[in-house]
Amino acid sequence: MPSGHIVSAFEEELQFLSRRLAAMGGQAERLVEQAVAALVNGDPVLAQKVIRDDLLLDEAQREIDDKAISIIARRQPMARDLREIIGSIRITADLERVGDLGKNLAKRVNAVAEGRQPASLFRGLEALAELALAQLKEVLDVFASRSVERIGFVRDRDEEIDAMYTSLFRELLTYMMEDPRNITPCTHLLFCAKNIERIGDHATNIAETIYYMVTGDQMPPERPKEDKSHRVTLNRS
């Protein structure tokens, strides 16, 4: 913003919405980071913190929604301004869901800690989480800068996440077959991996919303929306 420029009350309201959303994005990112750390380190105290912190994201969503709707009702925005506000409502819903997925990771900490899983599984999960978090961070940067030309990159990463998820899925199945005692904890790890993969999907949703906010168009629907794990079958020879 050039100095000396007088910002109207309306612009201030839009900027408030944008800042609040960026802050919520940061909260969601930290929540997922901590959930993954709780899982990998088997840390029930951190898991409880994550579960509590998710309430803050629920609150943030309510606040952003209320503000967005009140701006529409009072200001009757058009075109790009209206898209900004509708986009905020969509993005806050995605971030709230990212928080739910992070909370669900935290809730599985005890069930996963039941058995001692090999470090390679946790490394796989961490690597998947790193990709998904990088995706989320990237998308939040695109949101801050509104530089939609970087959105293609986000989509490419989505494919990478799906491929890594599918390979982790296969690894977990193999491990379950090796010893029935692995079945329960690995099933929970499978759901954890799925949750992390879904976080990547929500980041991609947010990228699509930003594209719409800025351009007024829907992104072409070429995106491969799903992982390939539904095809994975392992038969014991």
Q: Using CB under 8 A, list all residues that contact a second copy.
A: 58, 62, 69, 72-73, 76, 78-79, 82-83, 86, 89-90, 93, 100, 104, 107-108, 110-111, 114, 173, 176-177, 180-181, 183-185, 187-188, 190-191, 194, 218, 221, 225-226, 230-236
Angstrom distance (rounded) from CA 138 to CA 132: 10
In angstroms, what is the minimal distance from the CB of 223 to a second copy?
11
Judged by CB, which is closer to a second copy: 11, or 58?
A: 58
Tokens of 49: 């913190």
In sequence order, the 6+-apart residues with CB closer than 8 A to the CB of 183 are: 176
Q: Which is nearer to a second copy, 43 or 100 (CB)?
A: 100
CB of 103 to a second copy, least distance (A): 8
User: In whole angstroms, how close is the CB of 43 to a second copy at the nearest point?
Assistant: 16
Residue 82 Cβ, how far from a second copy at the closest point, in Å? 6
**In angstroms, rounded to a whole number, what is the distance separating the alpha carbons of residues 74 and 55?**
29
Q: How far apart are the first and last CA of the chain?
A: 65
Q: Determine the Cα–Cα distance for residues 151 and 135; give it in Å rounded to an integer.
A: 10
Strands, E, within the chain: which ranges?
A: none
Q: Which is nearer to a second copy, 2 or 180 (CB)?
A: 180
Q: How far apart are CA 194 and CA 180, in angstroms?
A: 21
Residue 16 CB neighbour total at 10 angstroms: 13
We find the least distance from the C-beta atom of residue 231 to a second copy, in angstroms, to be: 7
- Closest distance of CB 71 from a second copy, Å: 11
Which C-beta is closer to a second copy: that of 153 or that of 191? 191
| Closer residue to a second copy in complex, CB, 11/178 | 178
Q: What angle do CA 7, 1, 88 make, to 5 degrees?
A: 75
Instruction: Give the nearer residue to a second copy in terms of CB position, either 27 or 195.
Output: 195
Under 8 Å between Cβ of 159 and 131: no
